């Protein structure tokens, strides 16, 4: 039998119960964006050939929003190191960050603008950044200019 990545059966059960979508921060962000008047698609692959799923997707504007968890994506302010199986989790966060950078690059090459939001960000502030980005992209398309990807805020 293959050895488990989890340090104990209890840890394995706990990790398996983590949700992949519809988390509390995701729902708060979606609700805030909706209140600001934008409609979006949820859990969509912006580019079908790229196996990455955006948390919010604005297909007409070609804006993909990813809400990154502080632990899973190595938030510079809130990431905590695991006490058990520390090297496994440290390596996992490094791989996640590399995949995030690759995702940003692949989507940008396909003409998408990526917005990254940390789970600790206030949903209203993050939602306004998303709305501003979508509107700027749509406005730049009308004027014939290409918008550069906004930098993520910590």
Q: Which residue in 36, 56, 25, 30 sits closest to 122, CA to CA? A: 25
Model confidence, pTM: 0.80
- Tell me how many degrees the CA angle 95-100-103 measures, rounded to the nearest 5: 125
CATH number of the domain to which 71 belongs: 3.40.960.10
> Quick one: pLDDT at residue 154?
43
* Residue 123 in domain: yes
Instruction: Report strand pairing: 63-68 vs 113-118.
Output: parallel
Q: What is the predicted pLDDT for the residue at 135?
A: 97
Kindly state whether residue 146 falls inside one of the protein's structural domains: no
Q: If you average pLDDT over residues 42-62, what whole number do you get?
A: 96
Within a domain: residue 154?
Answer: no
The whole domain housing 31 covers 19-140
Total domains present in the chain: 1
HSE-up (13 A, CA, CB side) for residue 126: 25
Tens-digit pLDDT profile for residues 64-113? 999 999 888 888 887 777 778 888 888 999 999 999 999 999 999 999 99
Residue 2 lies in a domain: no
């Amino acid at each position: 039998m293959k050895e488990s990545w989890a340090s104990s059966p209890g840890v394995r059960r706990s990790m398996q119960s983590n949700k992949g979508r519809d988390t509390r921060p995701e729902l708060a962000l979606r609700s805030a964006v909706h209140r600001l008047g934008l409609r979006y698609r949820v859990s969509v692959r912006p580019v079908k050939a790229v196996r990455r799923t955006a948390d919010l997707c604005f297909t007409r504007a070609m804006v993909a929003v990813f809400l990154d968890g502080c632990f899973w994506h190595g938030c510079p302010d809130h990431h905590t190191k695991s006490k058990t199986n520390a090297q496994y989790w440290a390596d996992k966060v490094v791989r996640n960050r590399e995949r995030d950078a690759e995702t940003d690059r692949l989507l940008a090459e396909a003409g998408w603008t990526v917005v990254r939001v940390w789970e600790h960000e206030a949903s209203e502030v993050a939602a306004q950044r998303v709305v501003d980005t979508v509107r700027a992209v749509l406005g730049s398309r009308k004027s014939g200019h290409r918008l550069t990807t906004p930098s993520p805020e910590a």
